Structure 1
Amino acid sequence: MADNPSVLFVCVKNGGKSQMAAGLMRQLAGDRVHVNSAGTHPGANLNELSVTTLREIDVDITGQKPKPVTSDLVGAADLVVILGPEARLEPVDGTRFEVWETDEPSERGIDGADRMRLVRDDIAARVHQLAQELGPVKIHGSPATSIVIPTK
């Protein structure tokens, strides 16, 4: 990947999982990684529980808005990460695609803020791993709420 790789996180509505992943990557990688998120069928607003549970770990996505996946966004990405099985995109030559089968606690009867914290922590672990793959990072804090700070 280039010196400053570009990652596009995609889910269906672009109000929850992909926004969480993008916010976490921005927090973890800073300007080392160009980050975007989009939805295959974007909703009108961010998921409030996503916003709230990210705030608990000092990640703020309140300035973000759901937007559609476009060929320009996909074409500009070195990596497209699709979160969950519902969002579908056709692969594009020259662009790496990954599908993250994210945890779905509601299948175990866990809902509300508890559900969203588990989703957040699953996505955070995956983003931490991806951030480390993209370049050197330094991890501080507990595993569930660690903050990755780019090393110079």
Structure 2
Amino acid sequence: MNSPGDTMKTPPHVLFVCVKNGGKSQMAAGLMNNIAGDSVDVASGGTKPGTSLNQLSVDSLAELGIDISEGSPKPVTPADLEAADVVVTLGREAKVHAPDGTRLETWDTDEPSERGIDGIERMRLVRDDISERVKDLLSRLQS
């Protein structure tokens, strides 16, 4: 805990949420960790977590030098929601109730499969969309 007069600020805590916590929320967390470093405390979780990471999500971040391969899907807990300053849901399916005073954002992310784009090409478009949103969020957190 910081005492009055301390120049150190506690980093903001951001929780990224999707349904399975195997793709989009893991990508968002990896991207935020990459660009924000220690200036943001980052976590991710799923409302109905799957059993493994989406390999194309892992591969698309690896192309940028970001390794999330050791991650694993985990559930969003009440403690995760309570600890967060900002909760971001990715996609239309994940639903959470953020505590009073916690900012909740829903990112209706690009879904290239609706346009017939699949595979790694799809995941690169999803990654790039999430990356721009993460950069915007970081900018807002730092202002």
Tell whether the structures are fold-level matches, with TM greater than 0.5: yes
Output one character per residue of 1:75-125: Cα deviation in whole Å (capped at 9) or x when no partner.
000000000010011232111100000000000000000000000000000
Partner of 2:127: 120
Q: In angstroms, what is the RMSD of aligned CA positions?
A: 1.0
Deviation of 1:133 (Å): 1.4
Paired residues for 1:5-44 under 5 Å: 5-44=12-51
Q: Distance between the aligned counterparts of 2:95 and 2:75, measured in 1?
A: 13
- Structure 1 residue ranges without an equivalent (≥5): 137-152
Please tell me the residue identity of whatever aligns with 1:132: S
Q: Distance between the aligned counterparts of 1:89 and 1:68, measured in 2?
A: 12
Alignment partner of 2:136 out of 126, 129, 132: 129
Query: Size of the alignment, in residue pairs?
Result: 135
Paired residues for 1:1-150 under 5 Å: 3-135=10-142
Output one character per residue of 1:116-144: Cα deviation in whole Å (capped at 9) or x when no partner.
000000000000111111227xxxxxxxx
> Between Structure 1 and Structure 2, which shows a larger proportion of strand residues?
1
Largest Rg, 1 or 2: 2
Please tell me the residue identity of whatever aligns with 2:140: E
Output one character per residue of 1:13-37: Cα deviation in whole Å (capped at 9) or x when no partner.
0000000000000000000000000
Partner of 2:3: none
Normalised to the residue count of structure 2, the TM-score between the two structures is 0.92
Q: Distance between the aligned counterparts of 1:3 and 1:91, measured in 2?
A: 20
Structure 1 residue runs of 4 or more that deviate by more than 3 Å after TM superposition: none
Deviation of 1:50 (Å): 0.1
- Structure 2 residue ranges without an equivalent (≥5): 1-8
The percentage of aligned residue pairs carrying the same residue is 61
Q: Distance between the aligned counterparts of 2:29 and 2:15, measured in 1?
A: 8
**What's the secondary structure of 2:92's corresponding residue?**
coil
Please tell me the residue identity of whatever aligns with 1:85: R
Please tell me the residue identity of whatever aligns with 2:62: R
